Amino acid sequence: MSTTQQRVAIVTGAARGIGAATALRLAAQGRAVGVLDLDPDACRETVEKITADGGTALAVGCDVSDTDQVRDAVRQVAAELGPPLVLVNNAGVLRDNLLFKMDETDWDTVIGVHLRGAFLMSRACQSYMVEAGFGRIVSLSSSSALGNRGQANYAAAKAGLQGFTKTLAKELGKFGITANAVAPGFIVTDMTAATAARVGVGFDDFQEAAAAKTAVGRVGAPEDVARAIAFFTADEAGFVSGQVLYVAGGPLN
């Protein structure tokens, strides 16, 4: 078994959508995967798919915005699977609203999960990576980082993750750790379905409209994003750091 195959990965928000697809992809490449989400029971399907294919996975409940829960979750993964040397910061929530309707809880919740969560998880995992002289941190940004009506909180968090990523790349590079971000465009997930519901559009119509504005003429699937994330986590990607890759089916300008 190669060194890459022995890596332990943590994927947050891995019960469904992009997180689940990423956990499955990394497991298929030989990683043992800590599958983190708010409710460990919600991770059962992801874990069962991985183990059914002969992989190793562990479901762990964790609110990534909570310092103590993050510390305990990372320690549990390290104790049961091994030191986490790959981290995918994927956990996310939506609290969409126009600025004049957005309250402080809407703002704090989104910033807390996306931005604070990535900070806490990266801080908790980096010591294992530094000790090993190897690490891969991939954080999920979004095309909304460029600005999106009704998403001041989400856009700010996702733009913040890009600056966070570039800073980690500069601070941690000398320890063999890379940090990169993947910024999806329209991906078919529960979150985009929720957005369609918020604006009062049927999800099929919502997807058709998005596909019509995309260069490749289709919307994305979670697996499209998982493949990009997997590239950044590879041993062979050690000279790629501080980058933001838009997985959006074409240019966004």
* Residue 154 designated active-site: yes
Give residue 3's pLDDT. 42
Q: How far apart are CA 50 and CA 181, in angstroms?
A: 24
Q: Which residue is catalytic, options 107, 154, 206, 232?
A: 154
Give residue 19's pLDDT. 98
Give residue 191's pLDDT. 87
Sole residue written with tokens 């059962």: 44
Domains parsed from the chain with CATH numbers: 8-185+221-246 (3.40.50.720), 190-219 (no CATH)
Backbone phi and psi for residue 92, each to the nearest 5 degrees, phi listed first: -160, 160
Tens of pLDDT, residue by residue, the chain (253 residues): 344 445 899 999 999 999 999 999 999 999 999 999 999 999 999 999 999 999 999 999 999 999 999 999 999 999 999 999 999 999 999 999 999 999 999 999 999 999 999 999 999 999 999 999 999 999 999 999 999 999 999 999 999 999 999 999 999 999 999 999 999 999 999 989 988 888 899 999 999 999 999 999 999 999 999 999 999 999 999 999 999 999 999 999 7
Q: Can you give the three-state secondary structure of the chain, one letter per residue?
A: CCCHHHCEEEEECCCCHHHHHHHHHHHHCCCEEEEEECCHHHHHHHHHHHHHCCCCEEEEECCCCCHHHHHHHHHHHHHHCCCEEEEEECCCCCCCECHHHCCHHHHHHHHHHHHHHHHHHHHHHHHHHHHHCCEEEEEECCHHHHCCCCEHHHHHHHHHHHHHHHHHHHHHHHHCEEEEEEEECCECCHHHHHHHHHHCCCHHHHHHHHHHCCCCCCCECHHHHHHHHHHHHCHHHCCCCCCEEEECCCCCC
Sole residue written with tokens 């497991």: 27
Contact yes or no for 18/140 (Cβ under 8 A): yes
pTM value is 0.96
